[in-house]
Amino acid sequence: PRPILLTRHGESQDNVRARIGGDSSLSDTGELYAKKLANFVEKRLKPERAASIWTSTLHRSISTANHIVGFPKVQWRALDEINAGACDGMTYLEIKMDMPEEYESREKDKLRYRYPRGESYLDVIQRLEPVIIELERQRAPVVVISHQAVLRALYAYFADRPLKEIPHIEVPLHTIIEIQMGVTGVQEKRYKLMD
């Protein structure tokens, strides 16, 4: 069996300020996670030579892979975070105050809600199709360093969770979700590297 390791990027400057979207860099805490992750990946995958590291094209994801050496890295635009369009860079509170109808619609149907000039969860799920096909095709382990909404969708695919649950699945920061695809089905382990 070969593992797929799913993780969010380390804490970013925007995470600290509770702003969604953006392309900020890692906070000091996020930097520390990047180091711990490299350590973990090296220990976990060392004998598995053909492993690869997949990131999004956003700074916080690429920087989280920075300390991992000895494995090829691939950047996928399809792994970028859900595009919050007109709400990019705002906090949830700002959206609630300034765009209450948008906030309401998202509360009502988070799966189908599409940000103005942005994406919905359904859009994200659709654009992930080539990533999933490629992940299925890989024989070697893959470490996927991506973002909350994207990882909810990827995780739901492998863990066989229903569509309507996807926007609510817990994918905390600084935690590695290991998925093993074996002959007997899919097994999951979570490693919390930091609080």
Q: Are strands 175-182 and 185-192 parallel, antiparallel or unpaired?
A: antiparallel
Binding to ligand F6P by residue 78, rule CB under 6 A?
A: no
From the candidates 11, 19, 81, 83, which is the catalytic residue? 81
- Cβ burial, residue 153 (10 Å; 0-12/13-18/19+): buried
Q: How far is CA 131 from CA 19, 49, 87, 124, in A?
A: 27, 21, 26, 11
Closest to 12 measured CA to CA, from 81, 71, 70: 81
Q: Is 148 in the site for ligand F6P (CB under 6 A)?
A: yes
Active site residue 66: no
Contacts of 25 (CB under 8 A, 6+ apart): 12, 13, 59, 60, 63
Position 136, amino acid? E
Residue 141 binds ligand F6P (CB under 6 A): no
**Among this protein's residues, is 9 annotated catalytic?**
yes
The number of residues in the chain equals 195
The catalytic position among 15, 106, 152, 174 is 15
149 in contact with ligand F6P (CB under 6 A): yes
Q: Which of residues 166-195 bind ligand F6P (CB under 6 A)?
A: 167
* 15 part of the active site: yes
Our finding on whether 60 is near ligand F6P (CB under 6 A) is no
Site membership for ligand F6P, residue 30 (CB under 6 A): no
Active site residue 174: no
Question: Is 190 one of the annotated active-site residues of the chain?
Answer: no
Should residue 20 be labelled a site residue for ligand F6P when binding is judged by CB under 6 A? yes
Which CB atom, from 73 or from 110, has the smaller least distance to ligand F6P? 110
Burial class (CB in 10 A: 0-12, 13-18, 19+), 167: buried
Whether 8 is catalytic is yes
Nearer to ligand F6P, 53 or 173 (CB): 173
Catalytic residue among 19, 106, 127, 147: 147
Q: If we measure between CA atoms, which residue out of 26, 16, 29 comes closest to residue 66?
A: 26
Active site residues: 8-9, 15, 60, 81, 147
Residues forming contacts to ligand F6P in the complex (CB under 6 A) are 20-21, 81-82, 84, 147-149, 167
